[in-house]
Every structure is written in C-alpha cells, then in structure tokens.
Amino acid sequence: MTERDLRLGFFTNVDGEGSAKAKYDQAIELFVAAEELGYDSVWVAQSHFHGHGGLPAPFVFLSAVAQRTSRIRIGTALVVLPVEDPLRVAEDASVLDVMSGGRLQLGVGKGWEARTFEAFGRDIERRTDSYQEALGALLHALEGKPIGSTDARLFPTSESLSQRIWEGTLTDANAEEIGRRGHGLLVGRIAVGEGDGDTGQRQEPMVDKYLRGANSAGRQPRVAVSRSIYPAADRATAFKDLASGVENYATKFRSHGYGSEDLSLQEYFTLANIHYGHPEEILSSLGSDPVMAQATDLLCEVQPGEPNHTQTLRALELTATEVAPALGWIPAHRRQPSFSSAF
C-alpha cells in the first residue's frame, strides 16, 4: 500500500486487574515498548473515581512516562476541563511540556459522567458553557497573556503548547468550531447515542464538519481516530483473549442504558467497534471504516478487552509490524521530519 502521512499512537485508559501501582507500572512498560517500536505517540484518559479507567491525574503519570522515554509524544485523551481549574491545568501542562522536551499533546473535553460533576460540585447541565469558559481561560494562559486584572503570566511557558491542543467530542455539534480554532479533533472509539449505521458511518459527518471548519480558516487539520485493534494468530485466539473484558464492558454498557441482555457476546464485539483477528482481517475491517481515510493519527487501543500484559505487548508489536505499515504508516525513526514536526 502507498505510504501516507499517518501517525500511529497507542491509547489506554489504564484500567484492568491489579493494584493501581501495578497498572501504572505496566502502562509505562507498554509506552516504553511503543517508543521502541516506532510509535509516534502514547495517550492516557483521565477518569475520576475509577468510573471508566484508573487515572485521575494524567499529568503526574505522564511525567513518569517522560522520564522513561526520549522521543515519543505523550498525550491526554482527555482532561475533563469543566471540573478542573483551567489555570492549574495550564500550569501542570506547561511544567510537563518543559520536562518532556516539548512532547505534550494536550487533549481536553467536556466529560459526561454525572457523578464526577456532582463530586466536584459542578453542574453537568452547564458543562457546555463551563467547557467554553474553561477552554478560553486555558488558552489565554498558555498564550502568555496577563491573567485576570493582574500582571501575572503563566510560568513556565512553552512557546508552542497552545498549538498542540486537541478537543474531544461525541457529536458533530461543535466539530466545525474546533476546526476553525485550529485544534486537533479526537475521534472516539465508538459513536454513542442515537443514529443509524456503524461507528465510522456515524462519525463521518462530524469529521467532515471539522475539516470544513479547519479548511475555511486555513488551518492544518489533525484528526486522531481511536480504534480498538487486537491482532493475533487468528480470529478465535483474539476473541478468546478479549472475551472476559468485553463481558465486563457489556455489563457496564447496559448499566448506562445502552445495549441489551438479548445481545450475544459476538454482537457486543461489533457494538464496541473492535477490530480483531489476523492482521489481514483487521486491515479488511479498517478498510470499510470511512473515517480512516481522513485520519492523520490512528490511536490503537486494546480496550474494552482486557488481555494480559504479555498479550498486549504482542498486540502492540503486531500492530506496528503487520497492520499499520499496510495502512501507509512509516515508523517514527524512519520518517522524514516534516510531518512529525507539525504534530
């Protein structure tokens, strides 16, 4: 397949079995392995109170990742901005960016979990307005402008961090605006809510609106598409490795009002948009996803499956050696600097 300007990332919500320390240690090992395999980026999700992940403090965790790696970009996908103090986010992000040598990709979003908003004393009904207010304050600080009515300015400063902002959204309502702002678009693994068609078909209008906004404003689009990808020797092996995790996922999914007791486990694999099996089967599956053609970044994850650490390492390797190159990806250590430097 023809080589294309596609970057490869690995995403995890740092969930699964074991103690928090064990999960964090293993995630760092996966990120170190990803750098060695030529991945361009690694990403973590913020999750409070162990709702759908195990990492409430992504900047703290990524500072440890930065100390164990030297090249790979480190990203948040995403920080729940409406429950945060945007100035503190700016400070933490700036310190991490300086410590990592300018490798931070700062992803932010509205969040959706009601108990998180309640615990932080925030009104979830105002999350859209709260997000816009917090985003404005975050950008104001990152751009080095005076804060409030004082002459205080953000320290330390990073000259380009404000140009490495990504925004996540589950709908296409504000995708065009994200494009006009020149921010990257984080496209989730699944499309949640009403609508017909599979995830790729339902996300395609959102990506189209984002591209329309970016092009109209003369911005360089950045579209990071998250997909669950689990290559193995064959489809049966992959299904077995992922089955228990998908069963847990189905239970959680139903608790939020989605899915049905009538669906089989195989159907939940489809509903969760998991691309699994032999690398050739995965390539065929990804080839039918219309959003993939617009992706500048493919963020691979193994969740909602819960393969063990060894299995996940093997999946990382097979993705880097058998799947992504067939999509046109070039490992970071072999790529010309022009595309990577715009990350």
pLDDT in tens, 292-336: 999 999 999 999 999 999 999 999 999 999 999 999 999 988 876
Q: What is the pLDDT of residue 4?
A: 64
Q: Which two tokens stand for residue 29?
A: 């090992």
Assigned domain for 243 exists = no
Average pLDDT on 99-107 reads 97
Q: How many CB atoms neighbour CB 142 within 10 A?
A: 26
In tens, the pLDDT along 248-276 reads 888 887 877 777 788 899 999 999 999 99
CA-based radius of gyration for the chain: 19
Looking at residue 256, the DSSP 8-state letter turns out to be T
Range of the domain at 74: 7-237+275-340
Task: Spell out the alpha helix ranges (H) of the chain.
Answer: 20-36, 58-68, 86-99, 114-119, 127-142, 175-181, 199-216, 235-255, 265-271, 279-287, 309-318, 337-340
CB-CB contact of 76 with 105 (8 Å): yes
Residue 142, in any domain of the structure: yes
Number of domains forming the structure of the chain: 1
What integer pLDDT is reported at residue 337 of this predicted model? 62
Question: What are 159-166's contacts with CB under 8 Å, separation 24+?
Answer: 160/102, 161/93, 161/94, 161/97, 161/102, 161/104, 161/106, 164/104, 164/105, 164/106, 164/343, 165/106, 165/107, 165/108, 165/139, 166/75, 166/77, 166/78, 166/105, 166/106, 166/107, 166/108, 166/222, 166/224
Distance CA 330, CA 318 (A): 14
Q: Which of 305, 214, 230 minimizes the C-alpha distance to 13?
A: 305
Q: What is the mean pLDDT of residues 6-16?
A: 93
What pLDDT is attached to residue 204? Answer: 96
Residue 5 has pLDDT above 90, yes or no: no
pLDDT band at 1 (very low <50, low <70, confident <90, very high): very low
Q: What's the confidence (pLDDT) of residue 104?
A: 98
Q: What is the mean pLDDT of residues 214-225?
A: 97
- Token pair for 152: 């205080």
What pairs with residue 58 in β-bridges?
A: none
Q: Would residue 249 count as lying in a domain? A: no
Residue 256 falls inside a structural domain: no
The mean per-residue pLDDT over the stretch 103-113 comes to 95
Residue 231: cis peptide before it, omega within 30 degrees of 0 = no
- Do 44 and 27 contact (CB within 8 A), yes or no? yes
- The DSSP letter of residue 163 is G
Q: Is residue 131 part of a domain?
A: yes
Neighbours of 239 (CB within 10 A): 19
Written as six digits, the tokens of 142 are: 């990152």
71-91 per-position pLDDT tens digit: 999 999 999 999 999 999 999
Mean pLDDT for 176-196 is 87
Looking up residue 201, the CATH number of its domain turns out to be 3.20.20.30
Asked if residue 269 belongs to a domain, the reply is no
Question: What is the structure's pLDDT at 195?
Answer: 56
Is residue 217, in this structure, part of any structural domain at all? Answer: yes
pLDDT tens for 131-179 read 999 999 999 999 999 998 888 999 999 879 999 999 998 778 799 999 9
Angle, nearest 10°, between helix axes 58-68 and 20-36? 50
Q: What value does the mean pLDDT of the chain take?
A: 92
Residue 110 lies in a domain: yes
- Which parts of the chain are beta strand (E)? 7-12, 41-44, 73-80, 104-109, 165-168, 184-187, 223-231, 274-277, 297-301
| Distance between CA atoms of residues 135 and 152, nearest Å | 19
Residue with tokens 């979990």: 113
Using a pLDDT cut of 90, give the percent of the chain over it: 80
- Percent of the residues in the chain that have a pLDDT greater than 70, as a whole number: 94
